[in-house]
Structure 1
C-alpha cells in the first residue's frame, strides 16, 4: 500500500477493455517438459519483501510439487505501468498483486478472473466480510485482500512530550486535533503537523466522520462542493495560522515520508497509512508513535481498515485452479504468514492474524498493536473507488494548491474540482 495516494495511471479502462477483443489473447500459464504447471506471479515491493516472498513461494511449491511459480517484482510506479501494458496486451500474469484503485479498472476491462469460479479452492470464511467486499465490483469478487492497513497520525514522541501538550487519544475529534496543532506550533515555533488539505485520503476520513462518503455505490460523487469547501476552509485557515504546514512546504509533498515536514524535521506529526509510516523510524530521532485519526464531532470514526493490497488472477489464465491455490496459500497458510510477517500489512485471515501477532517485532509489532487498539471501533471500508479516481487525486492536490497560495477561494476551487470530477467519472 503506497504511503499517500499515488497519482497517474497509464492505462484507461477503455484500453483494458480492448484486451478482451484482441485477437490471439491466449491464456496465461504453461506446462514445462517435466509436466509441472508454471504460474507467473508478479507484485511490487522492495528487496526485503522479495526475499520473504520467495521463501513463501518455496513453501508453496514444496506442498504443490506439480506447480512451479515464476516471480517478478519492481517498485510501485514501474509495476503499475508494466502490469497495465501486460493487461492491455492480453498477457496478464496468472497471479498479480493489485492496488485498491486497480480493481474497478481491471475488472471492467475483463482482465481479472471471477473468483466465484474457484470458490471451492479459495477460502474466504475467516476474512472480515466488509474487508472482503472491497475486492468486489458489483456482486462479483475479483480480488482478495492480502493485508490490511488503516490511517494514522504518526508523531515524534520526544518532541511532542517535551511540549507538555496532551498526547492524542482515542475518540479525539478534528476540533481536538486542530487545538493540538495550534498548541504544538506555539510551543515549538514550527507547524504541529502537515496540512491535510492536499490529500483526498484525509478528506475522505473527514467526510466519513460526518456520515458521508467520497463515492456512491454506482461510482458517482457522494459529496457536494459545499462539503469540500468546508474542509478546505478549515485546513487552509490552520495553515495560515501556522498550525499546520504552509503552502511552500506542501508543494514538496510527493507521497514519500522523506519529503513530509515531519520527515524533514519541520513538524511534529503527520497523517499517513500505518505500514508506510515505518519510513519515519530512520528519520525521527525522538522515536515515533501511532495515534488514531480524528473522528467526527459526535465521535463517528472516519478511518477504516483498507486492504494494503490485493491478490487477483488473470481472467485468461490457463490454470485457474492452481492460481487460486497460490492465492489461498499466501492468504490463509500460517507458515506463509510467518515468513511474510507484516511486509504486506497485517494478515486478513483472523486466525492467522491472532497466531502471528505475538511473533511480530519492531515496527510490525507497532502496527499490530495500533490496529488492535482500534479493533471493533471502525466502520466497514468503502468499495473500491471508480476508475477515474486515480487522476482525481492529482486534480485534488492541484486545486488545493490554488487555495494554499491564495489564488482561489476554497469555494471556487471546490466548484472547479466538482466540475472536473464529474467529467472524469463520466469519461
Structure 2
C-alpha cells in the first residue's frame, strides 16, 4: 500500500485541528514530523515509559466468553475518548453517531472502538480491516496481549500486515487458517471492519510508528502465513487538546515554507514570511486575522496570579476540549499561591507576537469583579484581571464583553494580546477576532 501523500497529510492534520495551508511549501519531512507528533499527542504517549515492559505490565481483565464478570472491564469503555466539543457538534447536527468516511481521524478512532467492542470484548483475537468495496486493500490484525497501562488505558499488542490485490491470495490463506483454528469461538468467524483507503494508510503509519513501543528483544510466536507480519501496539486515540493543537500549529519561522522569516506582515505584525512570494500565497488564509488586528486600539492591562479572595485555595478548570476519558483530568485541581506578590512570573513563549486570549467573568456577585484569562497553550497558566487593580480599565473590558463585539452571553470574549511585561498584557480591546476560534 502506498504511503500517505502530501495532500493527505495536510488533510489529516486539518481533521485533527492542526491547520496547514493547502498551498504550503513546508518540506515533506516537516509535514511528516508534524503528523507524527500529532498522532503521538492523540495517543498521549508522553504519559507512559517506553518501550513498554511487556513482562511486568498487568494483563487487561478481558471479558470472558462474551460475558462481563466482576473482575473484567470492557475495552470499549476504556478505548472511548472524546470531549464536550465533539458532543456538542453531534447534537448540533441532530445525531449522536459520528459521520463516517468524512473525517479520516474520526474514522480511525471509530475503528479503534470497533476493535475494542466488536472484536476483543466479544472474545475474538483477530479481524480484517477492508475498504467498503472489498476490492482495493485490507489490513489483517491478530491480537497477542492486552496490557494495562492504567485503569483506563489498555495497550493492544498485535501482529499486522497490509494486503492489496497483488497479494490478496496470501491474505485469504491467513483468513482460512484463522477460521480453522478458532472454530469454537463465535463459529470461527473474525470481524470485518470497513475503512477507506486513506484511513487504512493512516492506520499503517500509526502501527509503523508504534513498533518502537515494543522492546527490541520482544519475541512473537508466529502462526502459519504470518512470516511477513509485523508486531506493533495500538493505544486509545482521542481528540487533541488545546495545548497540543497550539504547539503543533505554532510557526516560529515563515508560516508558509518554514524557512527563516525575516519579513513581517505590515498590517498586523503577527506572522512572519521569508519573502513576498510566500506572503502573497498566504494572504487568503491570513486575511481574517490581519483584519482583526489592523487599526485596533491596544490598551495595557495588569494581571495577577490569583483572583482576590482565593489565595491558597484548590481550583479545577476544564473547557470544551478537555478529555472526558478520565475523571482525574476533568477534576484535576491546582493549589493557588497564598501570597501572590511572591509568585514567580510566567515565561513569555510568544515573544512580541500577538496571540489569542480568552477572557471570562462570573455571572453574579463578587465573581463579576474578576476576569479569568488564559491563552490556548496555557503558556502562563490561568491569570486574573481584578476590578480593584484598575476600576476604569475593568469597566471598559466588561463593556466590550457585554457589547456587540463580545458575544457569548456577555460572560466571555476572545481578544488579541501581547506580553508587555512580567505582569502586564497589551490587549487589542476593540477588535473581535475573525474566523473560527479552535479552542
Instruction: Normalising by structure 2, report the TM-score.
Output: 0.20
Higher RCO (CA 8 Å, separation ≥ 6 residues) = 1
Which structure is higher in strand share? Answer: 2
Instruction: Normalising by structure 1, report the TM-score.
Output: 0.21
